[in-house]
Chains A and B, each alone.
Chain A
Amino acid sequence: MPADDPPADAAHRPAPALSLRHISKSFAGQRALADVSFDVPPGEITALLGMNGSGKSTLIKILAGVYEPDPGGTLHIAGEPVALPLRPAQAHVRGLRFLHQDVGLVEALSIADNFALVDRFRTRGPLRAIDRRAQHEHVARVLAFFGVDRDPGTLISALDPTTRTMVGAARAFQDQDGSTEESFRRNVLVLDEPTASLPAEEVDRVLRTLERLRAAGGTVIYVSHRTNEVRRIADHLVVLRDGRLVADQKLGGLSSTGIVSLIIGQRFAQEANGERPPSRGSGAGDAVLAAEDLVGRRLTGVGLRLAAGEILGIAGLVGCGRSELVRILAGSEQPSDGRMTVDGLPYAPSSPADAVARGVSCVPQNRHSDGCVLPMTVRENLSLGRLRTFVTGPGLLLGDAENADAVRLIADYSVRPADPTRPIATLSGGNQQKVVVARAASRRGRVLLLDEPTQGVDALAKQEIATTIRSLASDGTAVLLASSDFQELAALCDRVLVLDRGAQVALVEGDDITEEKLTLLSTRAQAPAHLKEPA
C-alpha cells in the first residue's frame, strides 16, 4: 500500500501524476468503492483492471467529475492537492483527459469540427468567423502525432473504427496552446477499453500510439479486459475487486493467468463453482432452438443447439456479436445468411411478434429503451404484447383480469413496491428488470432469450433474477443467457458458447465453466498473433 501522506517529493523524483487517498463511493447503501488509495506514476502506462462491477468505471467517473466521492478522500494531481468533488471543467483544466468506450465523436461532422466541439473554434477578424486554416493546422499537427494520416476535413463517418478511436484519443489530448508535445507531459490520458470493439490486427496501432505517447512523456491510465495487451504495454498495475484495491504493483513478469487470478481472486472462482447446480442437459436432447452458420453484421458463422430445460450461456467481450446473436434469434434483426429451426421446423422470424408466435420471447439488453415503456404503469408493462389474453368478445379489454394477472406476476417475481398502478419509471432498475423478465416468462413459451438481464441491477435483484432463470429452466424452458458477467454465467449455465469478434471460439461444458476460463478464452484470442503466449 502507498504511504498515507500525499507524495513526499524526494527532490530527484517527480511527483506522481495522480495520487488518490481513501477514495470511497456508495450508491444507496451499496459500496462501489471502498477506501481506494494508489499513485499513478508519471510518464508510465498504468493498467486499471477489474471485473464488471469492480468499481473501475466509478473510479474513472470520479476522476472525470461525473460522480461525487464520499467525503474523506483526497486527490493530488502532479503533487498539488485538488478539492473533491472535482468538477468536469476543473478535471480538464488540471490536465485529465478521457477517452470513453463509445469515443463520442459526432459522425456527421469533420475531424476538425469534432476537435473544436470540446475545445474551441479558432476564429479571426471582428466577426469572429471560423479560421478554417488555423483550425486545420492545429488538428493536423495533433493527428500527425497520433499517426492518423487523414485530412482534418474528413467526416468521422468516413473513418474506420480504429481511426475513430485514434481521433478520439487525439481529440482528448489536444491542447489549447497547440504545442502538443508540451501538453503530453502535463496531461493524463484515461482510456476506457479503447480496444474493446476493434479487430485484433488493428489493436496494435492503438497500442503503438500509446507507446509513442509514453515516449513523449505522457501518462496513461488504460482500462482493458485483455491481459495480453496489458502485458505488452503496461508498466504498472492497479487491480480493483468488489470496490477494493487488491493490487498496486509494477507489472514485472506477471503472466496472463497471474493477472486474471488477481482480477478474479481465488475466493470468487471457488464460490462461483460451489454455486453451480448439477448439470442438466448437455444439448444432447432434442434441440428446441437450433441455429447454423448465422452471418450478420458482426457474426461470421455461428451455430448453436438449445434443448428444453437447458441454460446455454453466450460469453464474450463488448463487440463480440453477443447481442446481435440474441437479436437475430429474437426476430428483431435478420441474418444475412444461415438457418434456424424451432422444434425442428424452419424458423425465420421477420419481427419479434413472429418470434413470440413461435414461442420465443426475449428480454432485451437495454432495459430503459427496449425493455420498458417508461411512461406506462407496471401493469401496462406486464401485459404489453399479451393483451389478447384479457379480452372478451368484441375486443373489450377486461381491466379486472389484467389487474389480477399483474398482481399475481408481481407476487411471483417479487416486484417491489407491489403496486400494479405505479408508473414503471418510479421503480428501481432491478425491479424494472423483474417486470421485463416476468412479461417475457409469462408467455409460457418454449424459449427464453436474455441479453444482459442483470446489468446495472443491485445484488438482491440479481440473485432473484438468477433464481427465476433457474426455475424457468427446471420447468422445461430452454434458456439462452448472453452476459458479460462471467461469474453469473459460471453460476447458471450448463454450457457456454464463447464468441470473439463474431466467431465462436469455444464451447465450454459442465464443471469446466469457470469465470477464469471464460475470461481467458474471450480475451486470449484478442491479442495480435505475434503477441500470443506460447501456450
Chain B
Amino acid sequence: MTTSAMEATTEQPAQTPTSPRDAARRTWRKVAGSAMSGYGALIFLILIAATFSVAAPTTFPTWDNAKAVLADQSIPGILALAAILPLAAGEFDLSLGGVLGFSAIFATWASNGGLPWPLVALLTLLLGACIGGLNAFLVVKVRVNAFIATLGVSTLLAGGNLYLTNSSLLTLDSHSFAQLTITRVGGMQVVLAYFLALAVVLWFAMERTPFGRYLRATGMGRDAARLSGVRTGRFLTTAFVAAGALAALAGLLQASRSGSVPPGIGPDFLLPAYAAAFLGATTIKAGYFNVWGTVVGVFLLAVGSNGLTLLGAQTWVTNLFNGAALIVAVAASVLLTRSRTARAST
C-alpha cells in the first residue's frame, strides 16, 4: 500500500504534461544524444577545424591548405577503405601497409623497365589481388589466425622491398606513369577523384548489395551465416582479395604521385588506416565499419595533424594526437557496441 503510493508520487512528475519549453529541451537532449553517438566524429571534425581556423587564421582556413589536405589524404584514404572490407567480415589484414609498399616499388621498377603505364597498373593490381589471395588461402583454407598470417605476409613483403630496391631510394623515371596522378580535375588533384569514386562504389557494394550484407553477417555471426547457407569462406576470400587489390592501387598511386619510393615504404601507412576505419565505425552508421564514417575518420586524423603542424607543433605532438585519437575511437566503438547489446538484451 505505502510502496505503491510512493511509486505513484515519484512517477507523477514524469507523467504530467510538461510545458513546451521542457518538451523542447527534452527533444534537444535526445537529438544531441543521438548526434553525439552517431555523428560524434563528424562533430569533432568540425569543432577542431573551427578551432584551428581561429588559432591559425592565416594558414589553416585557406583554399590551398584544404586542397593539400584533401590530396594528401586520398591515398591513405584508399588504404583505409581497403581495411574495412576484411574488418566487416570480422578479420584483420595487417599486410595492407606491406602490399602498398610492395606495389609502389613494383610499379616504379616496372615503369622504369619501360612497360607502358596501363600494363604496369594492371600488373600491380593483379599482384595486390594475388597477395590478398594468399592471405585468404592461409586464413580460410589453412585456418591460420588472420592476425598472424597477414603479419607474416607483411614481413615477407618488407623483405622483398629491400631486395628489389637494394635498400636504397628508388626514383621514378617514367613520365607517362607520373601522369596518372598529375592531372587535375576541377582544380583538385585527380587522386581525390579516385578516392571519392572508390568510396561511392564501395558504399554501394557494402550497403546496397547482398555481398555487403553477407560480408557483415560473416563478421557478426559466422557460424549462423554459414549454417543458413551463406558461403562465408567465399565472402572472406573476396574481402581479402579486394582489400589486396585496393592496397595495391594505393601503392600504385603513391609511386606515381611522389616520384620516388624509399625501401621502407608501407608499414607507416597501416596504423592510420586502421585508426580511420575504427573512428569510422563510431560514426555515420555507428557500430559498423562503414565507408562514409571511414572517410570522416581519415579527414579527422588529417585535419588534426595538419592544424597542429601549422601551429608549429613538433612531430611528437602529431603522433600524440594520432595515438590518442585511435585509442579514443576504439574505446568509443567498444563502449557503443556494449551499450547497444546491453540495451538489446533487456
**A391-B210, A395-B209 as given contacts; A375 in contact with B230, CB under 8 Å:** no
**A352 near B: Cβ within 8 Å?**
yes
| Residue numbers in A under 8 Å from B285 (CB-CB) | none
* B224–A371 CB distance below 8 A: yes
* B209–A396 CB distance below 8 A: yes
* A373–B224 CB distance below 8 A: yes
Kindly identify, within residues 31 to 75 of chain A, every residue whose CB is under 8 Å from any CB belonging to chain B: none
**B226 near A: Cβ within 8 Å?**
yes
* A395–B226 CB distance below 8 A: no
* A384–B228 CB distance below 8 A: yes
In the complex, residue of chain B having the shortest beta-carbon distance to the beta carbon of A440: B228
Name the contact of B231 in the complex, choosing from A330, A353, A384 (C-beta under 8 A): A353
Name the contact of B228 in the complex, choosing from A352, A395, A425 (C-beta under 8 A): A352
Kindly identify, within residues 442 to 482 of chain A, every residue whose CB is under 8 Å from any CB belonging to chain B: 443
* A397–B208 CB distance below 8 A: yes
How far is A332 from B221 in the complex, measured between Cα atoms in Å?
15
Kindly identify, within residues 225 to 265 of chain B, every residue whose CB is under 8 Å from any CB belonging to chain A: 225-231, 233
* B217–A384 CB distance below 8 A: yes
| Residue numbers in A under 8 Å from B287 (CB-CB) | 375
**A385 near B: Cβ within 8 Å?**
yes
**B220 near A: Cβ within 8 Å?**
yes
**B268 near A: Cβ within 8 Å?**
no
A352 to chain B, nearest CB (A): 5
Size of the A side of the interface (Cβ < 8 Å), in residues, is: 36
How far is A335 from B230 in the complex, measured between Cα atoms in Å?
21
| Residue numbers in B under 8 Å from A355 (CB-CB) | 229
In the complex, residue of chain A having the shortest beta-carbon distance to the beta carbon of B211: A395
**B341 near A: Cβ within 8 Å?**
yes
Kindly identify, within residues 310 to 346 of chain B, every residue whose CB is under 8 Å from any CB belonging to chain A: 340-341, 343-345
Interface flags for B55-78 (1: CB within 8 Å of A; 0: not) read 000000000000000000000000
B126 to chain A, nearest CB (A): 23
| Residue numbers in B under 8 Å from A353 (CB-CB) | 226, 229-231
Interface flags for B187-227 (1: CB within 8 Å of A; 0: not) read 00000000000000000000011110110110011011111
**A151 near B: Cβ within 8 Å?**
no
Kindly identify, within residues 385 to 412 of chain A, every residue whose CB is under 8 Å from any CB belonging to chain B: 385-388, 391, 395-397
In the complex, residue of chain B having the shortest beta-carbon distance to the beta carbon of A368: B224
* B221–A375 CB distance below 8 A: yes
Name the contact of A372 in the complex, choosing from B221, B226, B229, B340 (C-beta under 8 A): B221
* B213–A397 CB distance below 8 A: yes
* A373–B225 CB distance below 8 A: yes
* A375–B341 CB distance below 8 A: yes
* A396–B208 CB distance below 8 A: yes
Size of the B side of the interface (Cβ < 8 Å), in residues, is: 26
In the complex, residue of chain B having the shortest beta-carbon distance to the beta carbon of A423: B344
Name the contact of A374 in the complex, choosing from B214, B221, B230, B343 (C-beta under 8 A): B221
Binds B, one of A78-86, A208-216, A308-316, A356-364: A356-364
How far is A386 from B210 in the complex, measured between Cα atoms in Å?
9
* B220–A385 CB distance below 8 A: no
* A356–B220 CB distance below 8 A: no
**A351 near B: Cβ within 8 Å?**
yes
A362 to chain B, nearest CB (A): 6
| Residue numbers in B under 8 Å from A361 (CB-CB) | 229
Kindly identify, within residues 423 to 452 of chain A, every residue whose CB is under 8 Å from any CB belonging to chain B: 423, 425-426, 439-440, 443
**A332-B226, A351-B231, A353-B231 as given contacts; A426 in contact with B221, CB under 8 Å:** no
Interface flags for A334-372 (1: CB within 8 Å of B; 0: not) read 000000000000000001110111000110100001111
Name the contact of B217 in the complex, choosing from A371, A376, A426 (C-beta under 8 A): A376
| Residue numbers in B under 8 Å from A324 (CB-CB) | none
**A516 near B: Cβ within 8 Å?**
no
Name the contact of A385 in the complex, choosing from B211, B225, B233, B345 (C-beta under 8 A): B225
| Residue numbers in A under 8 Å from B230 (CB-CB) | 353, 384-385
* A387–B220 CB distance below 8 A: no
* A332–B228 CB distance below 8 A: no
* B224–A384 CB distance below 8 A: yes
* B220–A374 CB distance below 8 A: yes
How far is A439 from B345 in the complex, measured between Cα atoms in Å?
22
B194 to chain A, nearest CB (A): 22
**A380-B213, A387-B210 as given contacts; A352 in contact with B227, CB under 8 Å:** yes
Given A376-B220, A397-B210, 20 further pairs, Cβ under 8 A:
A352-B226, A352-B227, A352-B229, A355-B229, A356-B229, A361-B229, A364-B224, A364-B227, A373-B220, A374-B344, A376-B221, A385-B230, A395-B209, A395-B210, A396-B208, A397-B209, A425-B345, A426-B344, A426-B345, A439-B228
10 pairs, CB–CB < 8 Å, chain A vs chain B: A332-B227, A352-B226, A352-B227, A361-B229, A369-B224, A372-B221, A372-B224, A375-B341, A426-B345, A439-B228
Top 9 closest A-B pairs, CB basis? Answer: A373-B221, A356-B229, A385-B229, A387-B210, A425-B344, A385-B228, A395-B209, A384-B228, A375-B220
